[in-house]
Structure 1
């Protein structure tokens, strides 16, 4: 290697282009084999075997800025949850610079002190998905922490409903009350028709369900009271609408068109950003079993065909059942 003069910038660019370097954090170093590859004659690098390997590998993914990869991932219609915080942290970092060391730094910066399950769900999974979207190079998520069921307390739900009631839409607070009180999925809720609701008989028919099986649910008194305020009950068309009276269009990403007003209500209520519309279903299931202790009724009312409902059949926190009843969520009267 004697007699070769090269600037640091050119060295780094050539090393990254060839993948001939090692990195710990932001420190780059080279092995003798890396240097041999960097300084070998151009003709050698253009041999048929080397060209075939280069053609087979996705071109340029290591040099792609994270922001560009994230934009492409988002535009493709993929799950957009948790991406904003990732963009603020990684910004223009090249994908090739993201490794387990940089991911450890990201976890400490974005989610300090959070549980492994949270790091996996909100950091490792989306970053891996973005990288795998442009090149299959899977990262290793931290081990530990099983499936975690996030749910709200009755006090938190009251704060959320009050915050929703201060927004322009007259539908948002009843919608949240329905989600928490009945445990319906978002798609089932937004497709509920006004003429499929009978308040006097206290039932509603969910026709567009996840498992394609029509389901009749018993409305609890608090939900009946909330729905009685809506002008759409008894009429054809969706029960729940946007603030301008138009229909919601349900999407897969974090609650569809309800995402923004719901997230704003969560923020105004001072709740964790883990609270999404689907957490209302977790809350309902946890509360339902805490009050009734009836797993078969829980399964029936929740519309489960699998055994997923069993994750909620566990010992409830001390005093939860009493607090649920105190706040007027009368599941025991189903």
Structure 2
């Protein structure tokens, strides 16, 4: 009897000069040219074809791994909250989240995957109508992208390179004294800063804890020497407009200040060009003084804000007052700035003339100012 035809039986193809096989398994068609096997050796061609057929069936009946269900994308406002809690820049992110919640056309629980061109155009219209492209990119597009990328980092909790590591550097009273002396040294600053403008800035930041950018926007009308206070109006975040209280030594070091306009000027006596997230304009002058004081490059102008927080808490001892004076939203942010200080810091500060405990500056008789 003739042999039964097998589904995988090969046939010789004259055009290619190869044995070929063609069969179907569960609706899927398989066509293959076998490796070079002589036309006369059909037995070998059958063995190879049979192995291909069996492998194809084994693959067809093997259980397929179940694809894990993709979790729902995180709502943008939730991702924004986690982003801020991680210590990332909150200034523009908070405004974007508030705009999404307030807008009727954008769902308040919109997910990060649903942020598309239409949503961005709506936010641009609501928040930055008529603004320059650079402003929109810096204050809307970049913060949005940062939050979305943050939310999509599946392994961010253990990602060493992006772990939020707070600054640890602050100045001891002795180091601060060296910095102040250098800023007043004729040999160091006499030729390029005759009015000691850098000394005034360092004294202000050490005494009041303002950031460099906030300081440059202080106007003469913001000063209240009679109570030792200065109003910080142009702040880095919504929490930071505030009164800062300067101890007497800071006022003494600053000396005579302009009666109108900007208070803190360039070494050439001109107002600084104000820019978004500014403050870096003072770095050149600060570095010259820092080097003369023998301090390393890790001491930046912003380190003075950390220094002030550490000094202030060591003397005043009230976290809530420090939080308000520093313009921080919560205790967690305060803790990033206050450093572990030795027990004798208070006494050393007093020895260097720094006393942060407010004193009564003027006494009034009851009803003295009543006019009617």
Given the two structures, how large is their TM-score scaled by the length of structure 1?
A: 0.53
Partner of 1:173: 199
Q: Which runs of 4+ in 1 moved over 6 A?
A: 142-145
Partner of 1:27: none
2:357 aligned with 1:332: yes
Do the aligned partners of 1:255 and 1:276 also contact (CA within 8 Å) in 2? no
2:343 aligned with 1:318: yes
Match of 1:272 among 267, 279, 296: 296
Aligned residues: CA RMSD? 2.9
2:270 aligned with 1:246: yes
The 1:253–1:202 alpha-carbon spacing in structure 2 relative to 1, beyond 3 Å, is closer
Report how many aligned residue pairs link the two structures: 195
Q: CA deviation at 1:252?
A: 7.3
Partner of 1:194: 220
Q: Which has the higher helix share?
A: 1
Do the aligned partners of 1:295 and 1:310 also contact (CA within 8 Å) in 2? no
The 1:313–1:172 alpha-carbon spacing in structure 2 relative to 1, beyond 3 Å, is closer
Partner of 1:159: 178
Do the aligned partners of 1:154 and 1:327 also contact (CA within 8 Å) in 2? yes
SS at match of 2:231: strand
The 1:155–1:217 alpha-carbon spacing in structure 2 relative to 1, beyond 3 Å, is same
Do the aligned partners of 1:182 and 1:284 also contact (CA within 8 Å) in 2? yes
Give ranges in structure 2 of 5+ residues lacking alignment: 1-158, 360-372
**Structure-2 separation of matches of 1:216 and 1:253:** 20
1:199-248 Cα offsets, whole Å, 9 max, x none, are 12322111101124531222211122123323x0xx22110101211112
Do the aligned partners of 1:254 and 1:276 also contact (CA within 8 Å) in 2? no
The 1:254–1:326 alpha-carbon spacing in structure 2 relative to 1, beyond 3 Å, is farther
The 1:145–1:207 alpha-carbon spacing in structure 2 relative to 1, beyond 3 Å, is closer
2:287 aligned with 1:260: no
Do the aligned partners of 2:290 and 2:296 also contact (CA within 8 Å) in 1? yes
| Comparing 201-210 and 309-318, the one that deviates more | 309-318
Given the two structures, how large is their TM-score scaled by the length of structure 2?
A: 0.48
**Structure-1 separation of matches of 2:205 and 2:282:** 12
Question: Which has the greater radius of gyration?
Answer: 2
Do the aligned partners of 1:185 and 1:281 also contact (CA within 8 Å) in 2? yes
2:204 aligned with 1:185: no
SS at match of 2:357: helix
Alignment of 1:132-147 (within 5 A): 146-147=165-166
The 1:144–1:285 alpha-carbon spacing in structure 2 relative to 1, beyond 3 Å, is same
Give ranges in structure 1 of 5+ residues lacking alignment: 1-139
The 1:199–1:145 alpha-carbon spacing in structure 2 relative to 1, beyond 3 Å, is closer
Partner of 1:281: 305
| Comparing 170-179 and 313-322, the one that deviates more | 313-322
| Comparing 311-320 and 186-195, the one that deviates more | 311-320
| Comparing 213-222 and 312-321, the one that deviates more | 312-321
**Structure-2 separation of matches of 1:194 and 1:240:** 9
1:10-60 Cα offsets, whole Å, 9 max, x none, are xxxxxxxxxxxxxxxxxxxxxxxxxxxxxxxxxxxxxxxxxxxxxxxxxxx
2:246 aligned with 1:222: no
Q: CA deviation at 1:299?
A: 0.2
SS at match of 1:333: coil
Do the aligned partners of 2:216 and 2:264 also contact (CA within 8 Å) in 1? yes
**Structure-2 separation of matches of 1:227 and 1:195:** 16
**Structure-2 separation of matches of 1:260 and 1:238:** 20
